Amino acid sequence: MNHQELYELANSARRRSYAPYSHFTVGAALLTKSGKVYLGCNVENAAYGAVMCAERTAFFTAICEGERDFAAIAIAGGREGEAGDVCAPCGICRQVMAEFCDKDFEVILGSNEGVKVYSLDEILPLSFTKENL
């Protein structure tokens, strides 16, 4: 599974997004070290605080299936009906990544122009993790 293929899976999950309030649709594809992929999309709610991001949907689904070792996540997002530009993960999702992933976990951000790959350490430097407790 290469970076572009994982991004395309994120785009397919984006089509299942439920975003009637923000009209901003996001999909994520989370790759385990054993090669399995878990998808997620954002799921909104009339009570805005109940909104769940695509990335955490994918993580929590995978965790619930017993997965603990993750290699990469690809994220595809943008305004509903538009191709989508680079969609960087929110701070809460980065913190969830830091709970379960090593610093070299790959975060793949895509757009029409292709994909760019960042390490978790690059996008969440000086993080607070279980090592601090």
Site of interaction with ligand THU (CB under 6 A): 19, 22, 24, 26, 42, 44, 51, 53-55, 89-90, 93
Contact predicate 24/75, CB 8 Å: no
Q: Residue 24's closest CA among 73, 82, 74, 90?
A: 82
| Shortest reach from residue 24's CB to ligand THU, in Å | 4
How large is the C-alpha radius of gyration of the chain?
14
Enumerate the active-site residues: 55
Instruction: Compare residues 93 and 124 and give the one whose CB is closer to ligand THU.
Output: 93
**Which residue, 116 or 133, has its beta carbon nearer to ligand THU?**
116
In Å, how far are 12, 21, 63, 104 from 38, measured between CA atoms? 12, 25, 10, 19
Q: How far apart, in Å, do the first and last CA atoms of the chain sit?
A: 35
Closer Cβ to ligand THU, 89 or 110, answer by number: 89
Smallest gap from residue 86 Cβ to ligand THU (A): 11
Q: How far is the CB of 43 from ligand THU (least distance, A)?
A: 7
